[in-house]
């Protein structure tokens, strides 16, 4: 039973999550469960409103519940690793290893191989990292893990830039976004159009058993996808959009709202794929123009002002329309 078979759908408005109180206990989210492991414990040093902390907590607790707490996590260098393990403390209540920036997928392959060698088939492995560690420097190892179909779930927390080092551009940075290395100056302000890497599609090209995109605006959907992923053996990839208030220039309390706007504009489609083919998608309830999503973010401030950059905004809109068509998001 996959996420698409959920009997209960929750539609979130504003930034308020619909409560679990109306549901029977066994229908509540993992986070509502008293037995959740709280794998990423409080006390970490993430920024207010950090999308990644939110996403990681939901994802890892879901994975722990799905595996009866038999989980090992491998973390790439990045915000999550840095804010969760400030010496001499750690927020992680699960076995966790951080090796390097670009090798999380390979280290995870090694951990998984060790479990096989030890005959511990019930212990599962998650590799996780930000977009930088996944789409750029970790790309080779990621592809290797996919190609071998190693039994690893890789979770990418995508905040669309190298945030930990001061907001530099990555291959996940969207066009027109301002970063420290794609400043909003000159004839083509912000990140250049026509660049960028769609890792979920690349994961699909490897024909791995399961690929999914998720967003911190749809937390139950996120939990369900991770839970489902843990029922499958082999290489799996979940790509989660996690707004970064600091890097995106948004208010900390607007993280979930912004993530929802990304989904509802069509810029971040929510879908699942099995062995290289899209098998389900979450339709857009109420489409919003991309400007509604871009305007609250200071990283796109240069597109708005006395004379809005209608040409670039239109190009972004075209990208959204293309996604809507591709994934039939309005059908």
* Residues 244, 10: Cα–Cα separation, whole Å: 24
| DSSP designation for 287 | -
208 and 147 Cβ atoms separated by less than 8 Å: no
Nearest CA to 128 out of 146, 148, 150, 153 is that of 153
SS (H, E, C) 201-248: HHHHHCCCCEEEEEECCCHHHHHHHHHHHCCCCCCEEEEEECCCHHHH
Nearer to other proteins, 17 or 115 (CB): 115
Of 1, 8, 114, 185, the one binding other proteins by CB under 8 A: 114
Nearer to other proteins, 77 or 218 (CB): 77
Nearer to other proteins, 98 or 178 (CB): 98
148 binds other proteins (CB under 8 A): yes
90 binds other proteins (CB under 8 A): yes
Q: State in angstroms the smallest separation of the CB of 90 from other proteins.
A: 4
* Residues 54, 51: Cα–Cα separation, whole Å: 5
235 binds other proteins (CB under 8 A): no
Query: Segment contacting other proteins (CB under 8 A): 117-125, 241-249, 279-287, 303-311?
Result: 117-125
Q: State in angstroms the smallest separation of the CB of 233 from other proteins.
A: 15
Nearer to other proteins, 91 or 218 (CB): 91
191 binds other proteins (CB under 8 A): no
75 binds other proteins (CB under 8 A): yes
Of 12, 31, 70, 168, the one binding other proteins by CB under 8 A: 70
Handedness of CA 5, 226, 21, 283 (dihedral sign): negative
State the burial class of residue 295 (Cβ atoms within 10 Å of its Cβ: 0-12, 13-18, 19+).
middle
74 binds other proteins (CB under 8 A): yes
Establish whether the linkage from the previous residue to 88 is cis, with ω within 30° of 0: yes
Residues near other proteins (CB under 8 A): 69-72, 74-75, 81-82, 85-88, 90, 92-100, 102-103, 106-118, 123, 140-141, 143-144, 147-148
């Amino acid at each position: 039973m996959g996420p698409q078979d959920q009997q209960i759908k929750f539609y979130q408005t504003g930034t308020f999550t619909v409560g679990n109180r109306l549901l029977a206990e066994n229908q509540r989210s993992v986070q509502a469960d008293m037995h959740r492991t709280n794998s990423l414990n409080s006390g970490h040093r993430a920024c207010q409103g950090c999308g990644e902390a939110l996403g990681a907590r939901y994802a890892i607790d879901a994975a722990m519940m799905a595996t009866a707490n038999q989980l090992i996590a491998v973390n790439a260098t990045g915000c999550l690793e840095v804010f969760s393990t400030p010496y001499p403390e750690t927020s992680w209540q699960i076995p966790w290893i951080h090796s390097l920036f670009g090798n999380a997928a390979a280290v995870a392959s090694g951990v998984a191989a060790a479990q096989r060698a030890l005959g511990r088939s019930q212990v599962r492995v998650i590799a996780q990292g930000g977009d930088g560690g996944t789409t750029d420097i970790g790309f080779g190892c990621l592809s290797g893990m996919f190609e071998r179909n190693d039994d690893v779930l890789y979770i990418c927390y995508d905040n669309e830039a190298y945030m930990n080092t001061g907001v530099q551009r990555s291959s996940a940075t969207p066009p027109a976004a301002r970063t420290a290395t794609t400043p909003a100056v000159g004839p083509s302000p912000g990140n250049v159009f026509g660049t960028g890497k769609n890792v979920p599609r690349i994961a699909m090209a490897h024909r791995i058993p399961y690929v999914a995109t998720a967003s911190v605006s749809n937390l139950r959907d996120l939990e369900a996808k991770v839970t489902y992923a843990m029922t499958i053996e082999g290489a799996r990839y979940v790509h989660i959009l996690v707004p970064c208030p600091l890097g995106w220039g948004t208010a900390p309390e607007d993280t979930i709202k912004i993530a929802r706007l990304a989904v509802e504009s069509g810029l971040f489609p929510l879908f699942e794929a099995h062995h290289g083919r899209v098998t389900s998608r979450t339709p857009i309830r109420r489409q919003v123009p991309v400007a509604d999503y871009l305007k609250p973010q200071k990283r796109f401030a240069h597109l708005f002002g006395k004379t809005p950059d209608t040409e670039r905004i239109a190009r972004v809109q075209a990208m959204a329309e293309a996604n809507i068509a591709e994934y039939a998001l309005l059908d």
